[in-house]
Every structure is written in C-alpha cells, then in structure tokens.
C-alpha cells in the first residue's frame, strides 16, 4: 500500500497539551494530495478499531493535527452543533491569496447561512431540478452513445467528469469549451499537495469568475451566476467578498463531488458483475441501489473548527481544534450499519454522504438525479463492462475519495 502525500507541505506533529497521548492514532486519509494503490474503503474497518474519537497528526497544513470522529452519531451531533463548531475559515481559499472572503454559503455562520441558501433555492429546489430531467438525460445519452462502439473508455475523464460538468457549466452559464482548463484548476484546488499550486488555482478561478460576474451585470442571463449577481440578502445586493465566495463555492461544488461518486459507483459495478446483472434486470431498483452505493463509497471529508471549548463523547475539545468530518467513516459505522463492508443493494440506508443538518449539500437533488440517470443510461447503453485486465487502479485518498482513472472494457 502506498500513500504519496506531499508531506513536506505539512507541519511536523506537535500534539497539543490537552490531547491525551493514548488517543493519537495513525490515519491514512489526508486532507489534500494523498493517493493510494488499494481501494480506500478496505482500510476503514481498521480505523473503526480506534477509539470513537481520536487524534490524527500531520493531516492538514495549517494544524498540528485534528480530531477524527468515526461514529455516525458523533458526526451528526457535530454537524448540528453550530454553537460549538463552525465551518467558517476552514477552506482558507481567499486567505491563501491574501483576501478575506470565504466560501458561501458553505462557510457562512447562522443565521446568515440560511439566508444565503434561500437565495439559491429557486435553482436547486426539487421541482426545478425535475424540469431538467430530459436535458440531463440527453447529455448522458449523447456521451454514452459516443463511447459505446469503442469497446473501452477511461471512465473518469471520458464520462464521470464530462457528463455532470457539462450539466453544471450550463447551469452556471459558463462555456463548455473551457472544460479542460476548469478541470486543471479543480485539480489544483482539491487534488494537489502543493500549496503553491493550490494558491495559483484559487487566484485563477477567482479572477475568471469576477470577469464573468462583471459580464452578467452588463448582460444578465438565465443562469446561476446572474442569480447571484442580481440576488439580495436582507434587501441588499451581495458585497464583493460575498459575491466571490458564492461564485467560488458554486464552481468548486459543481466540478468534483458528483463525478467522483459516479466513478466509485461504476467501479463497483465493474468489479461486482452480479450487481451489474441485477440492476440491468431490475432497473426499478436503481434508486435504492444508488443510496447503498453512496453509503458504501461515501467520498467526502469536510472540516469543522471548534470555536468554544466543549465535550463530545467524553472527549474534551478546545477552541481552535480542527475536526475532520469523514463521511466515509460514518457511512461504514458498524454500530449503525450491520456488516458495513458488504454492499447490499437492498439496504436502503440513511447516510450522511451529502452532509447533515443545516449544511446538507444544497445541490443534493441535482446530484441524485445526475447519478441515477448515469446508472440508468449507462446500464442501458453500454454492454456489460469490467475493469481492463491488468489495470492497477490508484485512488485519491484525500478530500474527495475516488479513482484517479478507471479503464473499463466491454464486448462490442
């Protein structure tokens, strides 16, 4: 097993005095830049042998370590507790380039957080997303029909990223022909261990979106950027920092999470042909199967900062402590999900893969629809697929967990 995180960018461990030595445990998942040659979820059972909340050193460049709650109920409690924990300042996007804005609404504090979300609700409400169904399905079908005759594809780049990003770029009103450049910036924001590349990507994205917002002021359109530019909070327009934070949040949120989950789901079906056969024969079961795949291959870790001294599960946390909110640990908690290592397509789980509480992902309805359509159309159009013989799949093991590439083959 390998993990090639750029550790030179991380501070050396320096355990705070309030952290008991016996709670310091090794942790193979890092917040930026990590890769591994084994399937990440196979390492999760060993993590669940740790105490319910433990301390991991060297997992973030801005902190000597972080608390890692591994249980579903503890993550739920922290998600809900906005009195003692905050998302504000955890992204460090604006601060990296010497600016003061934060990702909005993700890093906003209540009650302003809910007001920001209200601004976006018209575009992300279930009824509005349902209206996009035919359009989303058309995007998926066009791409799948293009690659099906080839007998093979690199699924991550050829479909998992291209299909949902085409949908999101249209919603944002951004040009499709800049997709490759957008993906390069995304890699610098979420995949690299280099702080220099991270800062460069933040600057490029921010400057590009500022220019697009200026264009929307001159020529409004029916897109997300126009909605933000023209939107009001408490009867006022967004200030420049809010506008930067809003647009940056939308850009980053739309370029990775759905794509990574989609790659995880198709990898599973390629490696478990009996599940692929089952869903081909029972397409009405795809919705239930999707929730189990979202649980089993939960992909996201987010961050919280303890802002007031508190106690969770008997663990004393101090103001300033960092907390890793690993949805893949909660989603495989054996106290909640019997035999969590088993993927049971009929389990119908309630998971936290989209977050929980006030910070539940605002794009959850769009994400679910895109992933469901991808499974429906993929299983309808592509012949039975498998991993290319001899291929070694490397996975990102940090931030958002999923395959770096996924070479699939099928008989045509």
Determine the pLDDT at residue 4. Answer: 40
Would you say residue 333 lies in a domain? yes
Q: Per the structure, how many domains does the chain have?
A: 1
The closest alpha carbon to 274, from 289, 256, 257, 259, belongs to 289
Determine the pLDDT at residue 124. Answer: 86
Determine the pLDDT at residue 72. Answer: 96
Would you say residue 235 lies in a domain? yes
Share of the chain above pLDDT 70, in %: 96
281-327 per-position pLDDT tens digit? 999 999 999 999 999 999 999 999 999 999 999 999 999 999 999 99
Would you say residue 237 lies in a domain? yes
Would you say residue 37 lies in a domain? yes
Average pLDDT, whole number, for the chain? 91
Would you say residue 2 lies in a domain? no
Mean pLDDT throughout 238-246?
A: 93
pTM: 0.92
Tokens 């999760």 map to which residue?
Answer: 44
CATH number of the domain within which 12 lies:
1.10.630.10
Tokens 């079961």 map to which residue?
Answer: 285
Residue 5: pLDDT over 50: no
Would you say residue 90 lies in a domain? yes
Mean pLDDT throughout 366-395?
A: 97
Q: By CB neighbour count within 10 A (0-12 exposed, 13-18 middle, 19+ buried), where does 159 fall?
A: buried
Return the H-helix or E-strand segment holding 305: strand 301-306
Determine the pLDDT at residue 31. Answer: 64
Residue 125: domain span: 7-410
Mean pLDDT throughout 15-31?
A: 90
Determine the pLDDT at residue 110. Answer: 87
Would you say residue 1 lies in a domain? no
Instruction: Identify which has the larger pLDDT, 60 or 2.
Output: 60
Would you say residue 347 lies in a domain? yes
Tokens 């924990």 map to which residue?
Answer: 85
Confidence of residue 370 (pLDDT cuts 50, 70, 90): very high
Tokens 């991380």 map to which residue?
Answer: 10
96-145 per-position pLDDT tens digit? 999 999 999 999 988 889 999 999 888 888 888 888 899 899 999 999 99
Contacts of 76 (CB under 8 A, 6+ apart): 330, 352, 356, 357
């Amino acid at each position: 097993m390998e993990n090639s995180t750029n550790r030179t960018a991380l501070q050396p461990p320096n355990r705070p005095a309030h952290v008991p030595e016996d709670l310091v445990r090794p942790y193979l998942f890092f917040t930026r830049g990590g890769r591994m040659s084994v399937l990440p979820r196979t390492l999760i059972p060993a993590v669940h042998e740790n105490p319910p909340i433990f301390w991991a050193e060297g997992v973030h460049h801005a902190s000597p370590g972080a608390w890692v709650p591994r249980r579903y109920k503890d993550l739920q409690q922290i998600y809900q507790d906005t009195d003692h924990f905050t998302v504000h300042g955890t992204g460090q996007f604006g601060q990296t380039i010497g600016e003061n804005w934060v990702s909005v609404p993700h890093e906003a504090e209540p009650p302003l957080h809910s007001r920001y979300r209200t601004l976006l609700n018209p575009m992300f409400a279930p009824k509005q997303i349902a209206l996009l169904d035919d359009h989303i399905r058309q995007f998926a079908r066009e791409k799948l029909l293009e690659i099906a005759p080839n007998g093979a594809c690199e699924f991550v780049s050829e479909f998992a990223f291209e299909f949902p990003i085409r949908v999101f770029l249209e919603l944002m009103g951004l040009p499709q022909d800049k997709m490759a450049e957008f993906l390069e910036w995304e890699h610098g924001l979420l995949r690299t261990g280099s702080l220099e590349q991270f800062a460069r990507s933040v600057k490029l994205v921010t400057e590009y979106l500022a220019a697009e917002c200026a264009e929307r002021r001159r020529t409004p359109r029916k897109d997300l950027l126009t909605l933000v530019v023209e939107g009001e909070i408490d009867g006022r327009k967004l200030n420049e920092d809010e506008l930067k934070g809003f647009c940056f949040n939308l850009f980053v949120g739309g370029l990775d999470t759905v794509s990574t989950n989609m790659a995880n789901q198709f990898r599973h079906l390629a490696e478990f042909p009996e599940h692929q056969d089952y869903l081909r024969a029972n397409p009405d079961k795809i919705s239930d199967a999707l929730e189990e795949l979202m649980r089993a291959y939960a992909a996201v870790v987010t961050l919280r900062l303890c802002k007031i001294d508190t106690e969770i599960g008997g663990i004393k946390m101090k103001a300033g402590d960092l907390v890793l909110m690993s949805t893949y640990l909660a989603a495989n908690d054996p106290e909640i999900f019997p035999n969590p290592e088993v993927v049971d397509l009929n389990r119908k789980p309630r998971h936290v893969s989209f977050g929980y509480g006030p910070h539940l992902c605002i794009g959850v309805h769009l994400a679910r629809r895109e992933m469901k359509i991808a499974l429906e159309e993929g299983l309808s159009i592509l012949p039975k697929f498998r991993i290319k013989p001899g291929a070694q799949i490397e996975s990102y093991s940090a931030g958002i967990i999923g395959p770096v590439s996924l070479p699939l083959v099928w008989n045509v």
